[in-house]
Amino acid sequence: MKDLSSILSHFALTGKVVEIKPLGAGLINDSYKVTTTPPEASDYVLQRINHTIFTNVDMLQNNFYRVTTHIRGKLEARGENDIDRKVLTLVPTLDHKLYYHDGESYWRVLIFIPNAKSYEAVTPEYSYYAGQAFGDFQAMLADIPVKLGETIPDFHNMEFRLKQLHEAVAADTAGRVAEVQPLLDELEKRADAMCLAERLHREGKLPKRICHCDTKVNNMMFDETGRVLCVIDLDTVMPSYIFSDFGDFMRTAANSGEEDDPNLDNVNFNMEIFKAFTKGYLEKARVFLTDIEIDNLPYAATLFPYMQTVRFLTDYINGDTYYKIKYPEHNLVRSRAQFKLLQSAEAAVPAMKAYIDECLGR
């Protein structure tokens, strides 16, 4: 607590800090809610950036600043009200930097968005708003005048993620490969089909656009009425295929169970959530999407549970070096839950295709 206060003393805060407590359920960074007095002063979010994962903190924070100022400009041009709740705001340090380095860790501060909530699960109605919000997010960033860096190179490159899995299997550092062989076999069967995006990109048929790349349902802030205020967790905003945002939302929101559900019977792909999000997303994004992008949205809904199975399993095989875990088997339980979701999504692909046709009147 004392340490965190001294970190905060390097930032240009208004108000007096009265409380600092842990915030959120992110698997990568550490976040704290900072409460200040008097009541009209802003509250803040203090974050320790995980710089073993985000190795280029300068690039990370520059992207963050550019994305948020670009979106702010769009919202102003549209004449929106309440803009401070609709886009994140970075608080600079006293010497006008976008982060503070204490010699060991890197820290940043954001303005806390008041009266806003995030959820681990949403209704179809909220999913519809979320679809519009992410379509709009991509649309607003379509003309950002700078080239954003890839904060994690090859982040959603399926070929690269499979290569990491294969390397982990070959090294078998934690001696866990034998136990997961059946799951590895299942993943291998699908490997070629799942690398479709990379092939289409190489053939010049699939563009990269600025995407959020971590559209977990809990990375969205809703107001009291269920409208999406803004999208948070902007560390991974970078050029990617639009499948990233569509697919990762489905992976988290259209899962009737938990991401790490130990009971696989709970885990099923929820078509009502798919429909609602797809409707909202297409309303905003249809103007810039190509036919290849639209036709492969069902593929995206299977790609992300697949990729996440690969990533969790890779981490399990490596001995849990990437994701925060709560118990020793956690990454294995996560892998199995994501694989079950994949199977359920695969079965729903024909229904997904039919719904997209219906939306587009074709």
| Binding residues vs ligand GN1 (CB under 6 A) | 26-28, 53, 214, 216, 219, 233, 236, 259, 308
In the complex with ligand GN1, the residue whose CB is nearer, 181 or 321, is 321
Nearer to Mg ion, 289 or 307 (CB): 307
User: What minimum distance in Å lies between the beta carbon of 94 and Mg ion?
Assistant: 28
Nearest distance from C-beta of residue 214 to ligand GN1, angstroms: 5
Which of Mg ion, ligand GN1, none lies near 136, with the C-beta cut-off 5 to 8 A by kind?
none
Please give the DSSP secondary-structure letter assigned to residue 110.
E
Residue closest to ligand GN1, measured at CB? 27
**Rounded least distance, CB 26 to ligand GN1, Å:** 4
Q: Which stretch binds Mg ion (CB under 5 A): 19-27, 98-106, 236-244, 269-277?
A: 19-27
Give CA 243 to chain center in angstroms: 12
CB of 308 to ligand GN1, least distance (A): 6
Determine if 244 is a binding residue for Mg ion (CB under 5 A): no
Inter-CA distances, 344 with 237, 247, 260, 305, 351, Å: 28, 14, 16, 10, 12
Rank residues 25 and 360 by Cβ distance to Mg ion and give the closer one. Answer: 25
Q: Which does 309 bind (CB under 5 to 8 A by kind): Mg ion, ligand GN1, none?
A: none
- What kind and span of H or E run contains 33? strand 30-37
CA–CA separation, 198 and 244 (whole Å): 12
Please choose which of Mg ion, ligand GN1, none residue 293 contacts, taking the beta carbon within 5 to 8 angstroms, the exact cut-off set by kind.
Answer: none
Q: Residue 17 CB, nearest distance to Mg ion (Å)? A: 24
State yes or no: residue 26 binds Mg ion (CB under 5 A).
yes
Closer by beta carbon to ligand GN1, 26 or else 257 = 26
Q: Which does 278 bind (CB under 5 to 8 A by kind): Mg ion, ligand GN1, none?
A: none
**DSSP structure string for 228-277:** EEEE--GGG-EEE-THHHHHHHHHHHSBSS-TT-S-GGG--B-HHHHHHH
Contacts of 196 (CB under 8 A, 6+ apart): 296, 299
* Helices 271-285 and 330-359: angle between axes, nearest 10 degrees: 60
d(CA 13, CA 228): 27
- CA–CA distance, 180 with 339 (Å, rounded to integer): 12
**Does 233 contact Mg ion by CB under 5 A?**
yes
CB of 37 to ligand GN1, least distance (A): 30
Given the DSSP bridges, would you call strands 220-222 and 100-101 parallel, antiparallel or unpaired?
A: unpaired
| Minimum distance, C-beta of residue 12 to ligand GN1, in the bound complex (Å) | 26
Pair type for strands 30-37 and 16-22: antiparallel
Distance in angstroms (rounded) separating the CA atoms of residues 356 and 362: 9
Give the residue with the Cβ less far from Mg ion, 219 or 270. Answer: 219
Which residue number, 43 or 214, has a Cβ lying nearer to ligand GN1? 214
Query: Could you say which of Mg ion, ligand GN1, none residue 335 binds, taking C-beta under 5 to 8 angstroms by partner kind?
Result: none
Closest CA to 290 of 171, 211, 206: 206
